[in-house]
Amino acid sequence: MTASMERTRTPAVAGSGQLVLHQYELGCLSQLSYLVGDRSTGTAVIVDPRRDIAEYLADAEAEGLTITWVIQTHFHADFLSGHLEMAEATGATIVYGQGPETEFESYRVTDGEIIDLGVVKIEARATPGHTPESVSLVITDTSAGPDPVAVLTGDTLFIGDVGRPDLLASVGVTADELANMLYDSLRNKLMTLPDDTLVLPAHGAGSACGKNLSTETVSTIGVQRATNYAVADMSREKFVEVVTEGQPSAPEYFVFNAMLNRADRSLVNEHRPPAMDLDAVLAAAADGAAIVDTRDSVAFATGHLRGAINVGLDGRFAEYVGSVVSPGTPIVLVSYPGTDAEGAMRLSRIGFDKVVGYLADADDVLALRPDLVVRGSRLSKAELDERGTAVGDIQLVDIRNPGEVAAGMLDGAVHIPLAELNRRIDELDATRPTVVYCAGGYRSSIAASLLRSRGFTDVSDILGGYGACTLS
């Protein structure tokens, strides 16, 4: 995992009067958060923070700012927010839009209300649609002029997309109802802003909160007006249709996080998980713990503990663990030396705090106990064809998202997105030879290991995924 994939900070605005505005990108969750400050008064807000808050605190101190507010644009489903950690560390007031109650003390901002930092003003605009309580934050630096500098759009407006209205985070509100709210929010609250207003969303490419997010993390209202399919001129009915179709399957942990973000839960523990010997790991597994092997798929296929699930730390680790391991399940990590603490922290960002430990000296243990080690089967396209000829009745499973399979599937494959595999596993026959594939091979190693851990005896995945199979 490179530092750039893990997280980065970039100034979103530089040299603009008294305004301080920093954007923080957490690549492994495609999550964006913000520090907004006023140099004239030394006050600041943090918007949509993650749980490990040291970077925000260090930057505020370096800028000479005191954090007085922590604003959530909505109840997030894809990560566990750091509002409680920030309030504990700074005494900041937690702010949400109008909507469901929280178990902790919070302030509910109203549509059009101004949070006054001094010469920097933050206007809260109610922009329901992704969720009922969603707000966008219009930033104006009056020392530089009367026009808005930027708008923090949360999950209402992304770069190239809009927030999906079909997540189950909003209990009792249908996708059609939310899509209609979103139609109005975009046209009446956001597209009324000047064209040069910066658009700063809460997520970038890769997030399951939308289907067409750009790799860019900063845009303008004018560019989005010209290029974003969801704000093009169309009827309300057409809008509802296009924003609800082809959305990626939501991981199982999304509902868990949406509810936990309203709860008065425990604060993050940033300590390294304890080392465990093999007997302790096996005992934990017997008691229901999941063994999550965070090594890359090549190392995992070479040899791993029987029953382990492979989710490589070099990808979207927390999201995929949350897709195949049920919330609340104790977890034991098998990792490359020195990476266990990173794995535990990344899991804490989705509220998976029950990392009970990691297998110490994993390479030596695997070498000394070959009776507990199994290998993974990975097939090239040619080997898949050969196996199909030799075995015949292969169960072929495509675990890509709906938008990916729209362009085609391998003949005879059944489609079960990875995020749905855990709950739909009974649709498959554990006694048949099974081959799974994704786009490139990372997710298929996860799926194959999950199936093996659930009793499938003959499971392979395809090297290079669908892309390799369709090369001429």
Structure confidence by residue, pLDDT tens digits, 83-106: 999 999 999 999 999 988 999 999
The reply to whether 32 and 78 lie within a common domain is yes
Over residues 207-226, mean pLDDT: 87
pLDDT at 437: 96
Final residue before a domain boundary, out of 260, 283, 300 = 260
15 pLDDT higher than 80? no
Over residues 47-53, mean pLDDT: 97
432 pLDDT higher than 70? yes
Over residues 54-83, mean pLDDT: 97
62 within some domain = yes
The reply to whether 27 and 119 lie within a common domain is yes
The reply to whether 181 and 287 lie within a common domain is no
407 pLDDT higher than 90? no
Under the banding of pLDDT at 50, 70 and 90, the label for residue 246 is: confident
Q: What is the reported pTM?
A: 0.92
How far is it, in rounded angstroms, from Cα 453 to Cα 331? 14
Contact, 356 vs 282, CB < 8 A? Answer: no
293 pLDDT higher than 60? yes
**Enclosing H/E stretch for 25:** strand 19-26
Structure confidence by residue, pLDDT tens digits, 139-179: 999 999 999 999 999 999 999 999 988 875 456 788 899 99
The reply to whether 356 and 395 lie within a common domain is no
Buried-exposed string 422-451: b where 16+ CB fall within 10 A, e elsewhere: beeeeebebeebbbbbbbebbbbbbbbbbb
234 within some domain = yes
The reply to whether 104 and 235 lie within a common domain is yes
The reply to whether 90 and 213 lie within a common domain is yes
The reply to whether 308 and 446 lie within a common domain is no
pLDDT averaged over the chain? Answer: 92
pLDDT at 14: 46
218 within some domain = yes
Over residues 462-466, mean pLDDT: 93
Length of the chain: 472
Structure confidence by residue, pLDDT tens digits, 383-397: 998 888 787 789 999
Contact, 57 vs 37, CB < 8 A? Answer: no
Task: Domain of residue 418: give its range.
Answer: 377-469
Over residues 186-190, mean pLDDT: 97
How far is it, in rounded angstroms, from Cα 349 to Cα 462? 31
pLDDT at 2: 38
136 pLDDT higher than 80? yes
**Enclosing H/E stretch for 334:** strand 331-334
266 within some domain = no
The reply to whether 293 and 355 lie within a common domain is yes
Q: Is the dihedral of CA 317, 323, 328, 334 positive or negative?
A: negative
Structure confidence by residue, pLDDT tens digits, 310-361: 999 988 999 999 999 999 999 999 999 999 999 999 999 999 999 999 999 9
5 pLDDT higher than 50? no
Task: CATH number of the domain at 405, please.
Answer: 3.40.250.10
The tokens of 430 are what? Answer: 């554990």
Contact, 360 vs 337, CB < 8 A? Answer: no
The reply to whether 389 and 367 lie within a common domain is no
Which stretch of 399-403, 416-420, 460-464 has the lowest confidence by average pLDDT?
399-403
The tokens of 193 are what? Answer: 């802003």
The reply to whether 370 and 384 lie within a common domain is no
Final residue before a domain boundary, out of 374, 407, 438 = 374
- Residue 329 neighbours by CB under 8 Å, 6+ apart: 288, 289, 290, 354
140 within some domain = yes
Final residue before a domain boundary, out of 354, 374, 394 = 374
Task: Provide the number of structural domains found in the chain.
Answer: 3
How far is it, in rounded angstroms, from Cα 206 to Cα 112? 32
- Strand bridging mode 66-71 / 43-47: parallel
Higher pLDDT, 211 or 187: 187
305 within some domain = yes
350 within some domain = yes
pLDDT at 169: 47
Structure confidence by residue, pLDDT tens digits, 104-124: 999 999 999 999 999 999 999
Dmax (CA) for the chain in angstroms is 75
270 within some domain = no
The reply to whether 186 and 253 lie within a common domain is yes
Task: CATH number of the domain at 231, please.
Answer: 3.60.15.10
The reply to whether 39 and 88 lie within a common domain is yes
